[in-house]
């Protein structure tokens, strides 16, 4: 397996990568929950207040978005790190 390199050329750190991925995931989850909250408070929006299920809209969907966005972001960082590592290996 090739070495993983961060953008700055230093060794890839999983803790930093996870923190970045979680920050993106939390932001997306907050956006989903805020959209549902605005639909309930503003009594308008698609799909409408009547179809909002608080357990689903405020808990389940934000958690799902948090997990999916974080995993995709972390996967992208790993792929980029492998690409940088392979490029560095060829240059050396």
Helix (H, G, I), strand (E, B) or coil at 39: helix
Question: Quick one: average pLDDT of 41-52?
Answer: 75
Share of the chain above pLDDT 90, in %: 40
pLDDT reported for residue 43 = 77
Ramachandran region, residue 44 (left: φ > 0; alpha: ψ -120 to 50; beta: rest): beta
- Spell out the domain ranges in the chain: 20-91
Task: Find where tokens 């999983």 sit.
Answer: 14
pTM given for the model: 0.80
Question: What is the band of 1 on the pLDDT scale with cuts at 50, 70, 90?
Answer: very low
- What is the structure's pLDDT at 82? 84
Chain centre distance of CA 22? 6
């Amino acid at each position: 397996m090739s070495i993983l390199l961060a953008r700055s050329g230093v060794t890839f750190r999983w803790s930093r990568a996870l923190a970045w991925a979680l920050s993106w995931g939390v932001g997306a989850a907050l956006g989903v929950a805020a959209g549902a909250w605005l639909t309930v408070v503003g009594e308008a929006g698609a799909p409408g207040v009547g179809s909002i299920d608080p357990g689903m809209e405020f808990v389940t969907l934000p958690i799902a978005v948090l997990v999916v966005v974080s995993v995709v972001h972390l996967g992208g960082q790993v792929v980029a790190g492998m690409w940088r590592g392979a490029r560095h290996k060829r240059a050396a």
